[in-house]
Structure 1
């Protein structure tokens, strides 16, 4: 930004504020980064795409972008894949995702899908005593996730750790049993 023209910086600030991120917000620097050197037309196209793909209202898009402006940097293919997974496969409501847009910053194959498979397996086999909030499941750092969802079940499901590791490499492991 030090070598950027003042007019360009002012345009970025206006664009970030236009997304609903106030200047005093901790997310403002991320919003500036997200909109830097992206044309207003491309941002408008991405906002429309978010509305269509996640079935969000204008207010929900504004809320999601104010909480996670870096969504603007994700490819449309990545957003589409995450939308299909979170809405169609996991069954999350669009409004739920809009309130927790940080989920969209996680890797689909490296974090979201493997953790979903673990929770689905545990539920299907009666090993979880109550429903879990998927945002929490997806948000835990790796060590905490393993401590809460893998280690306590090593006797009841000895293959779970290996299946989780295999899911990180892609697909559903053959011995993940959803009964």
Structure 2
């Protein structure tokens, strides 16, 4: 129903200039087909607001690729959101700024407050929660259930302080079943064998990529075969539980 010459081609060309490739535009359209119906002048106004607030072009492109529906934002509300993100301590020149925009746009106020309340029940202060969010916006993107499960794992099962978790919030990007729980069980196993101190605290144990994890924490121990077998059993068990859930 849209004019090819007056709407579809100009919209595509505008996005291509912004995202720098046909492939990126096509991905954005697949994610939100309605972007082709938006008036180019309206899209330009959204982009101008971001530029005027110091967001570099590459991060604007990141935002549009990840959340193309941003282009239909009410301009005044969008400006208020940007001001809110800046007041939280995000720097417009950093990619976390647009990540925070995406997270806040995807959460209702009640959902944000619900997640905030869950973290507070685990002993975190408002300042600690906001600091963790500024460090890693996905900290507030994960579900209430995953927040509770992750904090229970680290605080109750491993005995780590909740404040340490808040200072190292990248754990929230990993699967609870496929990474956090299996590795936590391996850590408990290593502690039980006297290979790690009970006071061991390092999220590198969970952040390290799989191949390096095996090399750093499994392969060089004399009991490596036993530890590896234990770890793979836990990974397989998690996969079975995960697949059965679907």
TM-score (norm 1): 0.81
In structure 2, what is the equivalent of residue 168 of structure 1?
235
In structure 2, what is the equivalent of residue 32 of structure 1?
101
Whole-Å separation in 1 of the counterparts to 2:196 and 2:130: 35
Given candidates 159, 173, 176, the residue that maps to 1:108 is 176
Contact 1:15 1:35 in 2 (8 A): no
Displacement of 1:51 in angstroms is 1.6
Displacement of 1:149 in angstroms is 1.4
Verify: 1:63 aligned to 2:131, yes or no: yes
More helix by share: 2
In structure 2, what is the equivalent of residue 124 of structure 1?
192
Give deviations 1:82-124, integer Å, cap 9, x for gaps: 1111110011101101101111222122111211222222222
Contact 2:86 2:92 in 1 (8 A): yes
Which segments of 5 or more consecutive residues in structure 1 lack a partner in the other structure?
Answer: 172-179
Aligned length: 169
Contact 2:138 2:172 in 1 (8 A): no
Displacement of 1:21 in angstroms is 2.4
Displacement of 1:127 in angstroms is 3.0
SS at match of 2:71: coil
Contact 1:109 1:170 in 2 (8 A): no
In structure 1, what is the equivalent of residue 113 of structure 2?
44
Larger Rg: 2
Whole-Å separation in 2 of the counterparts to 1:137 and 1:79: 19
Whole-Å separation in 2 of the counterparts to 1:169 and 1:92: 26
SS at match of 2:85: helix
Whole-Å separation in 1 of the counterparts to 2:146 and 2:134: 20
Whole-Å separation in 2 of the counterparts to 1:106 and 1:95: 19
Alignment root-mean-square deviation, CA: 2.3
